[in-house]
């Protein structure tokens, strides 16, 4: 197994374990056992657990935002594209094993003591906020709307992580629809029951 393949196996295992059980509950030996990569090689790739956590969050960010953008890009109407964010969140919340936002979870565990982890969390949230800002700008909405959409989405993630279910995504979507209607950008928005072409996110 070459170095890149070993790194991907380690990151695959870390993502499964850290997301399902929490970062602090998982040791490097757990990652070794799940990945099949020797402890010596594991520490050669990631000399400290903190580095592994940061790498896991960085890779998950790329995948998560990529899947979100892919789904939103299936929609042409600017208002529809904004509401599609909340439809996608609902699909994510419905997945088996959903445990809330990985970055919020990691920040709650390590954000106060690990600068690299806190930096990865902030980078993810800033990128998500920038994505929503672009959608709002493309819809001709005031600059402040992107931040308001961000707070709706983040609130839905936290609530779904605690309470479970897809209700928070539906409620946040309706709040976003009202917000867009007030700004004159509602036309073309699909019903929240229109799930054609939706594929689960992870």
Quick: pLDDT tens for 74-110.
Answer: 999 999 999 999 999 999 999 999 999 999 999 999 9
* Range 125-142 burial, b when 16+ CB lie within 10 A, else e: beebbebbbebbeebebe
Q: Do 63 and 158 belong to one domain? A: yes
Q: What is the SS3 assignment for 23?
A: coil
Task: Give CA–CA dist 106/109, Å, rounded.
Answer: 5
Find the domain containing 169 and state its range: 56-202
Task: Give CA–CA dist 164/145, Å, rounded.
Answer: 27
Strands, E, within the chain: which ranges?
none
Residue (of 32, 101, 29, 38) closest to 64 by Cα position: 101
Task: Give CA–CA dist 129/145, Å, rounded.
Answer: 11
Q: Do 136 and 195 belong to one domain? A: yes
Q: Do 154 and 194 belong to one domain? A: yes
Q: Do 84 and 161 belong to one domain? A: yes
Q: Do 42 and 128 belong to one domain? A: no
Cβ atoms of residues 202 and 95 within 8 Å:
yes
pLDDT at position 202, please?
Answer: 40
pLDDT band at 183 (very low <50, low <70, confident <90, very high): confident
pLDDT band at 190 (very low <50, low <70, confident <90, very high): very low
Q: Do 70 and 39 belong to one domain? A: no
Task: Give CA–CA dist 92/122, Å, rounded.
Answer: 21
Q: Do 109 and 27 belong to one domain? A: no
Q: How many domains does the chain have?
A: 2
Cβ atoms of residues 34 and 97 within 8 Å:
no
Please tell me the pTM assigned to this model.
0.89
Q: Do 15 and 64 belong to one domain? A: no
pLDDT at position 185, please?
Answer: 62
- Which DSSP letter does residue 72 get? H
Task: Give CA–CA dist 36/23, Å, rounded.
Answer: 19
């Amino acid at each position: 197994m070459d170095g890149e393949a070993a790194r991907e196996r380690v990151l695959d295992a870390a993502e499964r374990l850290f997301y399902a059980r929490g970062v602090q509950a998982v040791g490097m030996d757990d990652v070794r056992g799940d990945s099949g990569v020797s402890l010596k090689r594991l520490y050669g790739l990631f000399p400290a657990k903190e580095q592994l956590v940061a790498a896991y969050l960085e890779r998950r960010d790329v995948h998560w935002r990529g899947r979100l953008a892919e789904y939103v890009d299936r929609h042409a109407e600017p208002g529809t594209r904004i509401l599609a964010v909340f439809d996608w969140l609902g699909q994510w919340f419905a997945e088996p094993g959903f445990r809330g936002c990985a970055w919020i979870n990691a920040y709650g565990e390590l954000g106060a003591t690990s600068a690299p982890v806190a930096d990865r969390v902030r980078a993810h949230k800033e990128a998500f906020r920038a994505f929503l800002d672009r959608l709002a700008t493309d819809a001709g909405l005031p600059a402040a709307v992107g931040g308001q959409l961000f707070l709706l989405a983040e609130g839905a993630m936290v609530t779904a992580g605690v309470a479970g279910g897809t209700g928070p995504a539906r409620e946040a979507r309706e709040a976003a629809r009202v917000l867009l209607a007030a700004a004159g950008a509602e036309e073309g928005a699909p019903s929240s029951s229109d799930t054609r072409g939706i594929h689960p996110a992870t």
